[in-house]
Amino acid sequence: MKQKLFLLFALFSMSLLFSCSKSDSGDTPKDETIAFYAISQKLYNGTVVTLTGYNFGTDTSQVKLTLDGKKMIITAMTNTSLTFTIPQDFLPSGQKDCTLEISRGIAYIGTQSQVMVYYLEPHGWFYPTTLTKYSSTNSQTFTDLIFPTDSIGYAIRYRELYMTADGGISWRRDGSDVGVGKAVASSDGKNVWIEFIGSVGISADAGANWKIGANGSSFNSQIVGLYTTGAANGLSALIKGQLYDINGSFTGAAVKYQSSFYNGSDNLWQKMSVIDKNNLIIAGNSKNVVLEKAGAFSEVDISSVSSSATVKALQLVDPNTAFLVNGNNELIKYAGNTWTKLTQPAYAVYFTNTTTGYIGYNNKILKTTDGGASWKEEFTLNAADKVDVLCARNGKVWAFGNNDAAGFVLKYNP
């Protein structure tokens, strides 16, 4: 009996000792290592992130937190949780594999982990990037901007073509000297036409490779407007006043329309805007505007409302609505069969429909929702910034322009 009692007592004592030893250890190491083992969310620029771990302490001045070697500001901290915000400008585009590292004190007592950080576009108006001046002697003014898809866009100025594949966040300059900045066109982002003075540069791979003047795509005149729906289908407008129809082959291109002022030498046209092959507008030096509506052409004199023959911007919104900005920054509207000079001056214009549109003037972006009758300031640019061209698609708006130091890209993300 005594032996059994002794055995039971011994077992109870060992059980109690094991229980005490286990409870004393806990889930937190006894050393002073500072570490995190959980991240609250996927990491984007501009987002608030919470780390869960141990031995953080409560004094933020003693804890160093870095992401890709850049110090992060800790905004809240307990011994097991801390919060910080990834800066909005941390990542300009795309995604990046980064080291997230935490330490405390003078000696390194900490941990690190590899994390992926993703670019997240801000909402509203913002500057995605700037563009370095390529040449001090060439014009820095951008002359055309198109977005055939939500992600693929093209912008041109004298001897320069810029391309984006991420919705206008980052832009790549084409390595070759292209034309003089008169025209670029694409219907799908992949098949692209660009003006190379008197020839059409053709790309079937989003500008990676170009064929210049191939298959009869050279004309004996400066090209000022292009429109394309495929590799060898579209329109080409020439400065001397001829519109060519390319229908399956450049070698078979035929004159679709010739200006009534055409004499084979004078410079008549400057810009073209096209909805489709049966609806377009062309304007230029003679203050005469060519309209094609449902396949029927007309040519009208707008000198009564326009004080300049220079055309900065031109857009045909629908077959009965168009907007033009001339060399004196006058904004002129065509509605029905009437041309009217609006009271609001502009440098650039783009309408998303017949009532809603945007202009750039001085260092501001203005918006109308009543077809240009009234305008409201949307965004104030940096003081020296001047918008050259505008484009919009599916609620997003892009603007290209210049200041004294460089070119800039501005974007609106709804």
Share of the chain above pLDDT 90, in %: 72
Instruction: State residue 216's pLDDT score.
Output: 76
- The 3-state secondary structure of the chain, one letter per residue: CHHHHHHHHHHHHHHHHHHHHHHHHCCCCCCCCCEEEEECCCEECCCEEEEEEECCCCCHHHEEEEECCEECCEEEECCCEEEEECCCCCCCCCEEEEEEEEEECCCCCCEEEEEEEECCCCCEEEEEEEECCCCCCCCCCEEEEECCCCCCEEEEECCEEEEECCCCCCCEECCCCCCCCCCEEECCCCCEEEEECCEEEEECCCCCCCEECHHHCECCCCEEEEEEEECCEEEEEECCCEEEEEECCCCCCEEEEECCCCCCCCCCEEEEEEEECCEEEEEECCCEEEEEECCEEEEEECCCCCCCCCEEEEEEEECCEEEEEECCCCEEEEECCEEEECCCCCCEEEECCCCCEEEEECCEEEEECCCCCCCEEEEECCCCCEEEEEEEECCEEEEEEECCCCEEEEEEEC
Say if CB 49 and CB 82 are below 8 A apart: no
pLDDT in tens, 116-140: 999 888 899 999 999 987 765 567 8
The stretch 392-397 carries a mean pLDDT of 97
Q: Residue range 3-13: average pLDDT?
A: 40
Average pLDDT on 374-399 reads: 97
Kindly tell me if the per-residue pLDDT of 8 is higher than 80: no
pLDDT at 138: 65
Residue 41, pLDDT above cutoff 70: yes
Binning pLDDT at 50, 70 and 90, where does residue 16 land?
A: very low
Least confident piece of the model among 134-143, 335-344, 348-357: 134-143
Span 314-327, average pLDDT: 97
Tell me the pLDDT band of 31, cut-offs 50, 70 and 90.
Answer: low
- What's residue 18's pLDDT? 35
Cα–Cα distances in angstroms (integers) from residue 114 to residues 80, 118, 342, in the given order: 20, 13, 57
Better pLDDT: 40 or 105? 40
Residue type, 105: G
Q: What's residue 15's pLDDT?
A: 40
Burial label, 60 (beta-carbon count in 10 A; 0-12, 13-18, 19+): middle
CA distances from 356 to 270, 314, 338, 341 (A): 25, 16, 19, 17
Measured at the CA of 368, the angle between CA 364 and CA 373, to 5 degrees, comes to 115
Residue 307 has pLDDT above 50, yes or no: yes
CA 90 to CA 117: how far, in whole Å?
Answer: 9
Residue 234, pLDDT above cutoff 90 = yes
Whole-number Å distance between alpha carbons of 49 and 116: 13
What is the average pLDDT across 235-257? Answer: 94
What digits encode the pLDDT tens for the residues 59-118? 999 999 999 999 999 999 999 999 999 998 898 888 899 999 999 876 557 889 999 999
Return the pLDDT at 136.
Answer: 59
pLDDT, average across residues 321-341: 96
Identify the pLDDT of residue 17. Answer: 35
Mean pLDDT score, 17-31? 40
Q: Higher confidence at residue 82 or residue 177?
A: 82
pLDDT interval class at 266 (50, 70, 90): confident
What is the spatial distance between Cα 226 and Cα 216, in angstroms, rounded to a whole number? 15
Task: Provide the pLDDT for residue 213.
Answer: 76
The share of the chain scoring above pLDDT 70, in percent, equals 90
Domains delineated in the chain: 35-118 (2.60.40.10), 124-413 (2.130.10.10)
pLDDT > 90? residue 324: yes
